[in-house]
Amino acid sequence: MQLEKLEIAGFKSFAKTTVLSFPSRVTAIVGPNGSGKSNIVEAFRWVLGEQSMKALRGKRGEDLIWNGSASLTSGGSFGTPRMGKAGVTLSFDNADGSMPLDFEKVSMGRKIFRDGLNEYYLNDSQVRLKDVIELTARIGLGETKHNIIGQGEVDRLLLASARDRRAMLEEALGLRVWQLKKSEAERKLEATENNMQQVELVTRELSPHVRFLRDQAKKAEARGAVEQELRAAELAYFTKEYEEISRERARLDTAKNPLVATQHEVRADLARMQKSIDEAEKKFARIRVGNGEEKASRDLELKRRELEREAGRLEAKLELERERARQPKLRSVDMRYIGDEIGKFIANIRVLAREEERADMLRAQLAVFADDLERLLAQIEHGAVEIKKDETDFDLVRELEHTLAGTQEELTRFDQEIEKRRHSVTSEHEALRASQAEMRALDSAARARQEEERDLALELERLKFEEERLRMRIEIYERERKSAGIEEASLRTPEANQFTVMGGEELRRKIERMRAKLEEIGGIDPAVVEEHRELEARHLFLTKELADLHQAARSLKELIRELNTHIKTDFREGFAKIKEEFHNYFRVIFGGGKAVLQLVEKESRLVSGEEGEEGEESEEGGEEAREPGVDIMVDLPRKRIKGLAMLSGGERALTAIALLFAITAVNPPPFLVLDETDAALDEANSQRYSAILKELAKKTQLIIVTHNRETMKSAGILYGVTMGDDGVSKLLSLKLEEAEVYTNR
């Protein structure tokens, strides 16, 4: 991985966009004090995620943004105006894949605005600070910024505590990423344990209520099972009832319908028979009337004979009157006699007419004849007829003759009528006998049909009684079914077939037993059941969650143990290498002596060089809760030095440089930034320092801020930083080859 360039825009004194390219393994940045060289170093620190404003020599975030020129320049022009944001971008060549990103070119940028908002970018895509920290930790650029030594920070490793020094070494060894994972795992473990405590507390609080609700739920379950069985039994019972009622209704309909039809037929036959009987009775009555005419005919025959006798007498008297007509003296007496006789004759005729009531025509004729005779008699009695001498007697005779002739004609008609009635009577006798036989047959058939109709009525009455009993059974069935909450449609479901082998009475007894059992169990509030369901689900969830938390805690603890083992193993291996390299660099820089790194449990445990070997035993004997720190022991040649505090400023600087170079040699970072770390070195030490830089440049890129010429000689490119009257830092670049050519001129 190669650092290609650093781009600064609006950051501190770099108001204008400034780009520093790093084509060489060693790049030197030079310039007068106050020109802005250290701002370049802080730009490196800031873009890598530095959050401490103290480390950036500021109080607020806006202190990092160019704030504008305070006055006019020497040329009379206005300075650069203040800016609203600042940005720094680092660009890398990742062709070797050292960075865990699928890009050959990687840019890491950061922006800050005057409102304090910070934005982080990877390849122009905004990311989180966490993403930047994890990435820098993976490539050896951690939070401790051991690869960036600011001005006056050369002895930072020496002045740090044993614990901080160990952290710097772990980060330098690339263990920071594992430390981050460990810290994250510890945070998760702590959160998990807190959650476990809360879940356990809630679980303990829920358990008694859950047990109570569980008992209630068991009762509800038992009640539900009984209710289910009860419903099945009720379904079976009502299904059987429904089927029996349907069969009984069908049986009654089957039995009743033919009877009703037969009853209608019998009643129709009886009506027809009654009509026939009525007609026969009328016919018989007519025939009987005909039999009365026979008697009347006989009576008429007797009266006819009397009438003949009377007519004979009348003829005799007529003849007598003819004789007396010839004798005027006797005419008056004879007329009275004739009148008396006519009166008798008229009375006989009227009697005959009354006896012949059914002979309408004859009766009418006789009545007319009687009326004529009465009129004649009246005329005789009242003297209405004047007897004339010349014609009286003869007129009376003629009238009598005429009357006699009418009587004879009537006698003739009487004969005809009597003969006719004889024939009629004979036919009517035969019809009467036939009518009597028909009436007897009709009466017998009618009595049989009436008997049949009475039997049908009795049977229908019995069926009606059974229908009424069935209706009452249906009413009881419907009332019980509705009371049980069973719909009729559910009777034909498969659930209703569970108890088909049991009889109706057996089912009823079973239903009564189950209802009694339900009363014994008692009512269960559905809300309690629902609460148990919800609380049981919650308790189960919490129990599972607690088990998951325990498993997560065990996994996190195992991960932490693995990370600790990994960190310890890698640290001890790296620590041994750094320890060896530190001793070697120390001997090169100081021309001998001894430098020792040792693990200590307490920062106060500082031992001499001879005791340092014993101090290493603490590696084996101090595996406590906290890892041991790192202490430094040095033994300068030709001096008796005990402790770092007794070193001079130059000696401390050289010791710190030796340690820094040792760390870099063991696990080289992508680049190393050194800000005037050689300020306290003399010429001889500067030469050794420069030689070490050239050797170290083979392992990492070096960006050096220096005033030392020997150091400048080791650089492949020089960047000069100047600052004008407007306070803006400007950059001048010069390659070493160009500088040599320029110097030779």
pLDDT 10s digits, 662-708: 888 888 888 989 988 888 788 888 888 888 888 888 888 999 999 98
pLDDT in tens, 140-174: 776 666 788 877 777 777 778 888 888 888 877 77
- Banded pLDDT at 528 (limits 50, 70, 90): confident
CA distances from 535 to 191, 531, 613 (A): 25, 6, 64
Percent of the chain with pLDDT over 70: 70
Report whether pLDDT(411) > 70. no
Residue 448 to residue 694: CA distance in whole angstroms:
149
Average confidence score pLDDT of the chain: 76
Kindly give, in sequence order, each residue whose CB lies less than 8 Å from that of residue 185, ignoring residues fewer than 6 positions away: 556, 559, 560, 563
Question: Is residue 291 pLDDT above 80, yes or no?
Answer: no
Question: Rounded to a whole number, what is the largest CA-CA distance in the chain?
Answer: 237
Q: Give the ranges where 356-391 is alpha helix by DSSP (H).
A: 360-381
- Residue 46 pLDDT: 93
Residue 601 and residue 685 in contact, taking contact as beta carbons nearer than 8 Å: no
**pLDDT tens for each residue of 428-464:** 667 667 777 777 787 788 788 788 878 878 888 888 8
* Mean pLDDT (whole number) for 64-78: 66
Q: Which two tokens stand for residue 323?
A: 């004789």
Q: Which of 57-66, 438-447, 513-522, 731-740 has the highest mean pLDDT?
A: 57-66
Rounded mean pLDDT of 408-413? 70
Determine the 3-state secondary structure of 216 from DSSP: helix
Contact 108, 92 (CB under 8 A): yes
Q: What does each C-alpha distance from 233 to 55, 502, 504, 507, 523 come to in angstroms? A: 86, 9, 10, 6, 20
* Confidence at residue 608, expressed as pLDDT on a 0 to 100 scale: 35
pLDDT tens for 535-562 read 778 878 888 888 888 898 889 889 888 8
Q: How far apart are CA 38 and CA 676, in angstroms?
A: 9
Mean pLDDT of 282-297: 62
SS3 140: coil
pLDDT (mean) for 644-663: 82
What confidence score (pLDDT) does residue 612 get? 39
pLDDT score of 615: 39
